Copies of this chain bind each other. A is one copy, B any other.
Amino acid sequence: MINIHEAEKLILDNCSAEKIELLPLHKAGGYVLAEQIKAPIDSPPYDQSAMDGYAFSFDGWDGQSDLQVTGEVQAGEFLNQEIKSNEAVRIFTGAELPAGTDTVVIQELTTLNNMHVHIEDKMISKGKNVRLKASQTKKGNNVLSSNHFLSPASVSFLASLGIDLVKVFSKPCISIIVTGKELIKPGQEVTKGKIYESNSYGLVAALEQLYISPVSVEVTDDDEMQIMNAVTRQLNSDIIILTGGVSVGDYDFVFSALEKCEVTKIFHKVKQKPGKPFYFGRHHNTLVFGLPGNPASALTCFYKYIVNAIGSFTKREYFKKTKLPLAEDYLKKPKLTYFLKGKSTAEAVSILNNQESYMMNSFADADCIIELDEDKEQFHKGDIVPVLMII
């Protein structure tokens, strides 16, 4: 059986199928750029007033005379007029400076008499209150690199350069197949021997956290043919996530169904608790994950492994990894990495009660998953442990 580090590496080694797509900019927030962006224009595209006031030629002005106001230019308009040295124009924030002007005096530091403006700004200097053409970026400059995360501010910046299409790393297409004869849909009445199906709910919500909607969610019986059919239907996805039926019991058909679908096993079983029967395989470029049916095991494996696989497509890191001191002692078995539901503060992380893999009430209160090293048995209050923040 491999350990968690080998499992992580094997998954990332098999994540080579990144895809690139051209997206309209207004849909590209949260993606990562797959191209280098050069500025298609100077920004600002012209000398621009930063304030409401009067534009004039600083060198043409004698420093004391009033200037004749010969025009007005509003933002969005263009004054096709050469301004002489004894003239000024009324100008507004964002407007293009007319030819012949280079400086703006703000309205509050002027008086206007008979269409002549008197400048009262004792500190006026050449270029004041003007945003020079290309002062943010010159046409042709590299402005954002490939692998840049498109934050809202990045999107706004690209829009301001006139860019409306960008190449980004695609989100993977993900299919979920939940298996189990015992599963009934929430909202129905629970009958003898049945339990409510919850894994698809947890996984869909977890994908939603990553801004991904699965392309398909199916629930099948513990039946090899049903599972094969479901897998075959989804083999054009980038990632298939199955839950349940991954052990080697008489009614665990996921492994054999995947073999028959020509999914190549990369590993099956990891030295971890919960999630020991965790399976990973591959069919051409489709990654196939088999998660245990217990909801806490399934979600733990999702956060620990599948999120990394998704990140290899999108080039994003979704959840913060940190280290925190344990708030209490803990005793575990050796030779298994433990993943425990935790609640963190800035100072420490507490191990919640009810860690059994069928219990979700503690997971519902958790904000993180604590990782306890496979080789160690005794953990003491204050020991620094890796923590994966999941909220």
Give the interface of A toward B (CB within 8 A): 25-26, 28-30, 41, 44-46, 48, 50, 52, 73-78, 92-96, 107, 131, 136-137, 143-144, 148-165, 180-183, 185-188, 190, 192-206, 208-209, 211, 222, 247, 249-251, 293, 295-296, 299, 341, 354, 356, 358-361, 363-364, 366-367, 390-391
Contacts and interface: CB of A to CB of B under 8 A. Distances in A.
Contact of A190 (B41, B77, B155, B391): B41
Contacts of A152: 202-203, 205-206, 208-209, 299, 390
A25 B206 CA distance: 13
Contacts of A155: 201-202, 205
Given A143-B361, A151-B390, A155-B201, 19 more contacts: A30-B205, A46-B193, A76-B183, A93-B249, A137-B361, A152-B209, A153-B363, A153-B390, A156-B202, A156-B205, A157-B364, A159-B197, A159-B201, A159-B202, A160-B195, A160-B198, A160-B295, A162-B187, A208-B211
Nearest to A183: B76
A173 to B, nearest CB: 19
Contacts of A131: 356, 358
The 7 closest A-B pairs by CB, nearest first: A29-B205, A156-B202, A76-B181, A76-B182, A164-B187, A159-B198, A153-B363
A29 B204 CA distance: 8
B157 A25 contact: no
Contact of A186 (B149, B164, B181, B247): B164
A249 B50 CA distance: 12
A249 B104 CA distance: 15
**Total copies of this chain within the assembly:** 2
A186 B162 contact: yes
Nearest to A29: B205
Contacts of A137: 361
B249 A76 contact: no
A73 B185 CA distance: 21
Nearest to A24: B187
A294 to B, nearest CB: 8
A363 B151 CA distance: 9
A49 B13 CA distance: 37
A391 B149 contact: yes
A148 B162 CA distance: 43
Contact of A156 (B198, B208, B209): B198
A354 B327 CA distance: 43
Contact of A205 (B73, B151, B183, B366): B151
